[in-house]
Amino acid sequence: MRPLVGITAWRRELDTFLGREALQTLSANYTEALISTGMTPLVFPNGQDAADAERLVSLVDGLLISGGDDVDPMSYGSDVTDARGHDPAVDEFEIALVRAARSQGKPLLAICRGLQLLNVALGGTLQQEITSEGGVHELINENTDPDDINAWRHVVRFEPGSLLAGLYGSEEAKVNTLHHQGVDVLASGLVVEGRTDDGLVEAARCEGDWWALGVQWHPERMDDDHHALFHAFREAIETD
- Give the catalytic positions in this structure: 112, 218, 220
**Do residues 131 and 180 make contact, with C-beta atoms less than 8 angstroms apart?**
yes
Q: How many CB atoms lie within 10 A of CB 165?
A: 18
∠ at Cα 103 (100, 105), nearest 5°? 100
Residue 26: phi and psi, rounded to 5, are: -160, 125
**Do residues 63 and 101 make contact, with C-beta atoms less than 8 angstroms apart?**
yes
**Do residues 230 and 40 make contact, with C-beta atoms less than 8 angstroms apart?**
no
**Do residues 177 and 195 make contact, with C-beta atoms less than 8 angstroms apart?**
no
Position 118, amino acid: L
Alpha helices per DSSP H over the chain: 28-36, 53-58, 88-104, 113-121, 146-151, 163-168, 228-239
